[in-house]
Structure 1
């Protein structure tokens, strides 16, 4: 269904991003990453923000938990690992490929029914091994294959056509759009095509954080809670071995976290505290420490987030600097000279 109570769509304009991370080498700011950050309190109010949190943006794969909720509401019977995979940007490990095959088998479909783009595995180590073995790109290996298999299964259960399930006018995609508007509390501003070929709905960073909080605070047994429980219990299925987003969920009890291409990150705790981050240049090296600093702003114990403080910068093979959140986000950031 399409929400009729959502607020107006966020404005479409150039985002007024601000500095959110410094690239510091030997205590000199060598580079600056711009972006926007929002932190919501347990009651849903904005406790902290930087930059432009109300402008329309594309959440990319950070929207997958919302898409999964829409499919569960439409009858998708998956739980556990397979539901986590339905919301995944996976690394292409064998467990991800096998899980996607299981979803397709439950739907009575073959891999050929998938309409996502063929690709090599997203995980670097997996991709290297795949290439050495001479394996070509495939739809199964592409990081969104679990979502696409779940979309097909949802269509099969509802008697919806399969060949055009990626059309924005398809009943499945209209159902997903309605759930996006309901959970974000705002109209979709623009619809485009994501990298995998699925429709992509633009909302604000604020709306994205609100939707993630609504998923984690939903009553037990609801579609929202089922998705959150699956991803938190099987974080490597929703991402991959060694991935930072899985590490975050392992490090912070009860945390639901999801990353997206172009530097997007969302995370929420069971009491509704939530964060959303957008790095303007799409850099993961800024996304991770900025997200960790935002979680500290949300009240997470900093000791749980030391592994996400920012990757070191090397000089002559040894650490000589680091990517750090700006002091406005992390008041404990050491001053830099230059």
Structure 2
């Protein structure tokens, strides 16, 4: 792995494999919502855990089917931007390049700083206008009489960096989101190199940028390669920025930022439709896809997967479950189920598995 690569030298690029198959994923139950000792809801999904040597240590569901990583792909896209010629950025700005930010003022100010450095303005952005992602920030924004803006949209850091790269390379700005644009071609090449597989499909993400279908296994392999990269490499620079500024990658109080602060050296990124990736500096990594896209199951399942990587339960406490509320009191819990469940002690109100059943509960403030 890139541990042995000299600092400042990008590691050999992985060999590209075949694209993953486009099919209906064979997801399995990965989380239970338990209320009053009865399984009220079941979330299906797929999970992969990689060992430090890159081998698959644990799998559940279908980790090889093509899927869209959504914003969990942003660390890979950030590496692609550096390879494409993104000019030097301070660590905060580079972290925002890989962000799904909350729309806090520091996020907006940093996006403006990237645009200013390139001689550009918010008017040059082509992402969709939106309100801030964080509910409290959004409410304050609305009270102030402010409407949707491109800068407030959670992907504005990535888009600002895309524009900055295009300007530095002398490429056209107006169509920088076109999949045929040279910038997007460079990013697609990086996606294939780091995942080790071809891209199965190309579509449009919520923000308007091209989105590439890979497998959950390939995505997790890519984040492991970023997490293990030597300092000074493009991958290493992205990893350092994200670890140093997790709140820039997400936002104050967001679960991904808290998880990165809680686990030394962890690199983590979430994505819409129930996607979560995380990787440790030694290459151990996890990938999670919740089939129904439910965000509430994403972190508890990811925490159970991280427990399989050897992360201590006390560190993962608070991430591994979400109370189920009834009448203002906790009456159950949402936690990981199936083969992931034994890595945590049973909680009050949990349902014990039958001999071959999918185990005990799994997570989100559920009312």
**Shorter-chain TM-score range:** over 0.9
Instruction: Name whichever of 156-165 and 328-337 sits farther off.
Output: 328-337
Match of 2:325 among 302, 314, 331: 314
> Which residue, out of 74, 82, 88, partners 1:72?
82
Q: 2:311 aligns with which of 278, 283, 300?
A: 300
Larger displacement relative to structure 2 (327-336 or 43-52): 327-336
Question: Aligned to 1:61, which of 66, 71, 89?
Answer: 71
The match for 2:101 is 90
Distance in 1 (CA, whole Å) between partners of 2:271 and 2:63 is: 16
Unpaired stretches in structure 1, ≥5 consecutive residues: none
The alignment's TM-score, normalised by the length of structure 1, stands at 0.97
Give the structure 2 partner of residue 244 of structure 1.
255
Q: For residues 258-297 of structure 1, what are the structure 2 equivalents within 5 Å? A: 258-297=269-308
Q: What TM-score do the two structures reach when normalised by structure 2? A: 0.90
> 2:53 — aligned with what?
43
Q: Which residue among 17, 20, 31 is the counterpart of 1:10? A: 20
Question: Counterpart of 1:147 in 2: which secondary structure?
Answer: helix
18 and 333 in structure 1: CA distance in 2 versus 1, 3 angstrom threshold: farther
The whole-number CA distance in structure 2 between the counterparts of 1:282 and 1:79 is 34
Once residues 240 and 310 of structure 2 are traced to their aligned partners in structure 1, the CA distance between those partners, rounded to angstroms, is 21
* Displacement of 1:122: 0.4
The alpha carbon displacement at 1:324 in A equals 1.0
1:79, CA displacement in angstroms? 3.3
Contact 2:131 2:149 in 1 (8 A): yes
Compute the displacement of 1:330 (Å).
2.3
SS at match of 2:40: strand
Task: State which of 147, 150, 157 in structure 2 corresponds to 1:146.
Answer: 157
Separation in structure 2 between the aligned mates of residue 238 and residue 4 of structure 1, nearest angstrom: 26
Please name the residue that 1:323 is paired with: 334
Q: Deviations over 1:260-292 (max 9, x none)?
A: 000000000000000000001111110010000
1:329 is paired with a residue whose SS is helix
Query: What is the number of residues matched between the two proteins?
Result: 336
Give the superposition deviation at 1:253: 0.1
Equivalent positions of 1:183-202 (< 5 A) are 183-202=194-213
Residue 333 of structure 1: how far off its partner (Å)? 5.1
Question: 1:165-244 counterparts in 2 under 5 A?
Answer: 165-244=176-255
Instruction: Go from structure 1 to structure 2 and tell me whether the alpha carbon gap of 1:115 and 1:205 turns closer, same or farther (over 3 Å shift).
Output: same
| Equivalent in the alignment of 2:174 | 163
1:137 aligned partner:
148
**How far 1:302 moved relative to its partner?**
1.4
Shift of 1:5: 3.5
Q: Following superposition, which runs of at least 4 residues in structure 1 exceed 6 angstroms of deviation?
A: none
1:301 shift after superposition: 1.3
The answer to whether 1:336 aligns with 2:328 is no
Aligned-pair CA distance for 1:298:
1.2
Q: 1:121-132 alignment to 2 at 5 Å?
A: 121-132=132-143
Offset, 1:322:
0.7
Deviations 1:218-270 (A, max 9, x none): 11100100000001100000100010000110000000000000000000000
CA deviation string 1:178-218 (max 9, x = no partner):
00000000000000000000000000000000000000111
SS state at 1:308 partner: coil
CA distance in 2 between partners of 1:53 and 1:194 (Å): 21
**How far apart, in 2, do the equivalents of 1:228 and 1:87 lie?**
10
Output the CA distance in 1 between the equivalents of 2:46 and 2:146.
Answer: 39
Query: Any idea what the Cα deviations from partners look like across 1:287-324, whole Å, max 9, x if unmatched?
Result: 01000000011111111110202221111101111101
Find out whether 1:256 has 2:271 as its counterpart: no
Alpha-carbon separation, structure 1, partners of 2:304 and 2:171 = 44
| Structure 2: tracts of 5 or more residues without a match | 1-12, 354-367
